[in-house]
Structure 1
Amino acid sequence: MRIISGLHKGRKLLAPKKLPVRPTTDMAKEALFNILNNRYYFDEITVLDLFSGTGNIAYEFASRGTENILAVDDNFGCIKFIRQTSESLDMPIEAVRSDVFRFLENNTKQFTIIFADPPYDFDQNLFEQIPELVFKNNLLEESGLLIIEHSKHTDLSNINNFSFTKSYGGNAFSFFE
């Protein structure tokens, strides 16, 4: 995985092979950040990265100047890797080991951007629970955005607060406002 832009532009990070992850491709990540770059000043936002895996998305936000990033994953190895990497690169990422659904149910802090990259083989009802919990618990700031990464074969357009989907290769991002 590679950091696309910002302070650590071009830096390659190698995650341990044993982690149960599927990092967002560089092409899809670059396209996503082009969309976000037109909406936000990265140094003025707060970010919640759900199902963080390797921390790929959190590192990109940090490299671009975001100072308040919370990464959540239930895998100990993933959280350990994120903590080690963010510390070695002096990035302001707090990594928390938690079940994402439990975290969303209990968290009270609001975020500008909530990015979720759940397993692509999730049942439709699990995908639907993510925006349901985010909006029920008022976790987005007024100008906030929830982004769910999923397979291009998954359709989330029938979920409340859906705005639009962008597809890149086999990946898709659904945006909720």
Structure 2
Amino acid sequence: MSRIVAGVAGGSLLVSVPGDGTRPTTDRVKEALFSRLESMNMLAGTRVLDLYAGSGSLGVESASRGAKSVELVEFNDKAAAVCQRNAEMVNKVVGTKVVRVQRSKVESFLERAAEAGVDQWDLVFMDPPYPLTEDELSLVLELLGPRLSSFAVVVVERSARTPEPSWPETLERFAEKKYGETRLWFAEPAGE
């Protein structure tokens, strides 16, 4: 069972996605990731986007730690329902509707956001399913690039055995970290 590590909802248990279609971020990886993000001042007041959200654990952790707004994007029906339950729990603790759930394919969501001129995001989590090809991941990163604030951070979580993502011209990697079978890549807008 996963939990919210810290913040106003710290210690709260999260509903998990039934079955084996998702791969939740372990508490160990989540603690290390959020420690790094806090040291970079990337949580309080930020606009967060959690793509391939699964249970929404990264997005709701951000809300617990002071994010201004959080969008959880998940296409799978069961996972989106779990995202909704976790979002409602955190919103209740926070006292306002910080977290919203979008049941959508990631590519469609980003295309609609671009057409609607949606505000730019400051922090983006991408924990795509392992079967997602490198070409599909590259397309999502390309769609994402123009929707980022100038100081944004993008965190891509993949298997430690997968190659580094192919970054579009709008993004450049500035760090990576391996935790057992998990690897995190950190990117920012190019030229920043």
Instruction: State whether TM-score is above 0.5.
Output: yes
Q: Work out whether 1:132 is the aligned partner of 2:133.
A: no
* 8 A contact 1:19–1:77 mirrored in 2: no
Identity across the alignment (%): 30
Q: Deviations over 1:84-143 (max 9, x none)?
A: 2222331521000111011122213210011111012322112222221112xx111010
Measured after TM superposition, the shift of residue 19 of structure 1 is: 6.7
- Please give the alpha-carbon distance, in whole angstroms, between the structure 1 residues aligned to 2:83 and 2:167: 31
Q: Distance in 1 between matches of 2:9 and 2:157?
A: 23
State whether residues 4 and 60 of structure 1, in contact with CA within 8 Å, keep that contact through their aligned partners in structure 2. Answer: yes
Alignment of 1:24-173 (within 5 A): 24-40=25-41, 42-89=43-90, 90=92, 92-107=98-113, 108-109=117-118, 110-135=120-145, 138-156=146-164, 158-160=166-168, 161-173=172-184
Gaps of 5+ in 2: none
Report the secondary structure of 1:9's partner residue: coil
Matched residue type, 2:148? L
The change in CA–CA distance for 1:67 and 1:19 in structure 2 (over 3 A counts) is: farther
The CA distance in 1 between the partners of 2:87 and 2:129, in whole Å, is 23
Q: Which secondary structure state, in structure 2, belongs to the residue aligned with residue 42 of structure 1? A: coil
Runs of 4+ off more than 3 Å:
none
State the one-letter code of the partner of 1:53: G
Tell me how far 1:67 sits from its aligned partner.
Answer: 2.7
- Given that 1:117 and 1:150 are in contact with CA atoms closer than 8 Å, whether structure 2 keeps it comes out as yes
Give the match's secondary structure for 2:44: helix
Q: How many residues align?
A: 175
CA separation of 1:158 and 1:20: change in aligned 2, threshold 3 A: closer
Q: TM-score, normalised by structure 2?
A: 0.84
What are the Cα deviations for residues 12-69 of structure 1, in whole angstroms up to 9, with x where unaligned? 2232423721110111111111110011252210000000010110111111111300
Structure 1 contact 149–172 (Cα < 8 Å) conserved: yes
Q: Helix, strand or coil for the counterpart of 1:14? A: coil
- Separation of aligned partners in 2, 1:101 and 1:163: 24
Write the distance in 1 (CA, Å) between the matches of 2:83 and 2:108. Answer: 20
The gaps in structure 1 that reach 5 residues or longer are none
TM-score, structure 1 normalization? 0.90
Of the structure 1 ranges 142-151 and 15-24, higher mean CA displacement relative to structure 2 is found in 15-24
**2: distance between equivalents of 1:103 and 1:121?**
20
Q: The residue matched to 2:4 in structure 1 has which SS?
A: coil
